Structure 1
């Protein structure tokens, strides 16, 4: 059986969760570097003019969250029943709220010190959870871990929610490492646990994991 193929730019980007889902499911993947002009002109391969794109047999998908949910179903990472599936969906959407803020910090604010200070106060400081944060705060994610017995965000096994939380946390640890370790030790423990799981551990230590997170070499 052929491997799933991920089409993406040579940065981690939003394809990182997709790669994590595949390796967590015990599978492997191939990659294709995207040609920008083709991506913008070929509506058969790239219906929205964007990547990543996943080709898995006769399945051909774009839109990151659509691909992620397909992989979650394929590799049994969607939750065990309707209640768990709904919780997974909620967390995935919560992570997306944070991702929007992260992208702004990286590409618009370019990690300027003043912007980083404001970012921390708005999206990390526990005292700001009831402020105007657009529904984006790491305390909200930490709450799911604190309410769920065991090392996962939902239920008693790995789900897409864990991979999404891990990936957005991993991005922020690169910027606010020591601050997060002091303020959210439970998230750091979660990060270490997920990073040590079979498939994920091997991927993280391999050449398949690209060094660059973002297209502007920040973060």
Structure 2
């Protein structure tokens, strides 16, 4: 399995992107044998199915489906703020709404160990990422949500995640491209 992103270098990507057989040439992409996928969520869902991380019961699968879309909406709110020419004004509006959004995620997680249930699913990766991103944006944002803090700690405590985060390959920033008003350094 090969997952490619910007490490290929921009010039190489621009030159090769239409020659590797991707339906929609884009970064990131994943090539797993004959399977070729672009789009982050499609890649995550594929990996989730392959490793039986999409929920075991219908209730868990529904929770995964809901959370996958909700996490993307939540991420896109912050993306729009950070790429808006009127960043400071949009930032203030986002910060006013942030506790309500986090409260909903906190209620959805409840007392569960993972967002869909007892076992980790692929959406836990998305949720970790967006919660971590919001912590970088506002370090105190999870102060009122101990279950979300515990989720982050549990996720980071996983053996392979911890090893990766303690390796030189882990790059906590930048989180956005250079044209963003925040998260570029």
Q: TM-score range by the shorter chain?
A: 0.7 to 0.9
1:15 match: none
> Would the aligned equivalents of 2:5 and 2:29 in 1 still touch at CA under 8 Å?
yes
> Would the aligned equivalents of 1:151 and 1:190 in 2 still touch at CA under 8 Å?
yes
What CA distance in whole angstroms lies between the structure 2 residues aligned with 1:200 and 1:77? 16
TM-score by length of 2: 0.85
The structure, 1 or 2, with the larger RCO (C-alpha pairs under 8 Å, 6+ apart) is 1
> Would the aligned equivalents of 2:4 and 2:27 in 1 still touch at CA under 8 Å?
yes
2:106 match: 142
Question: By how many angstroms is 1:166 displaced?
Answer: 0.6
What's the secondary structure of 1:118's corresponding residue? helix
What CA distance in whole angstroms lies between the structure 1 residues aligned with 2:151 and 2:164? 18
1:155 match: 117
TM-score by length of 1: 0.73
What CA distance in whole angstroms lies between the structure 2 residues aligned with 1:200 and 1:92? 20
- Aligned-residue Cα RMSD (Å) equals 2.2
What CA distance in whole angstroms lies between the structure 2 residues aligned with 1:65 and 1:72? 10
Taking a change above 3 Å as real, the CA distance of residues 52 and 117 of structure 1, as seen in their structure-2 partners, is: same
Among candidates 133, 148, 152, match of residue 187 of structure 1: 148
2:2 match: 5
What CA distance in whole angstroms lies between the structure 1 residues aligned with 2:145 and 2:59? 27
Give structure 1 regions of 4+ aligned residues with deviation exceeding 6 angstroms: none
Q: Does 1:214 align with 2:173?
A: no
**1:77-123: CA deviation from partner (whole Å, max 9, x where unpaired):** 1111222112111101100111111111222247x43322111112x
Q: Does 1:174 align with 2:136?
A: yes
1:28 match: none
What CA distance in whole angstroms lies between the structure 2 residues aligned with 1:109 and 1:138? 25
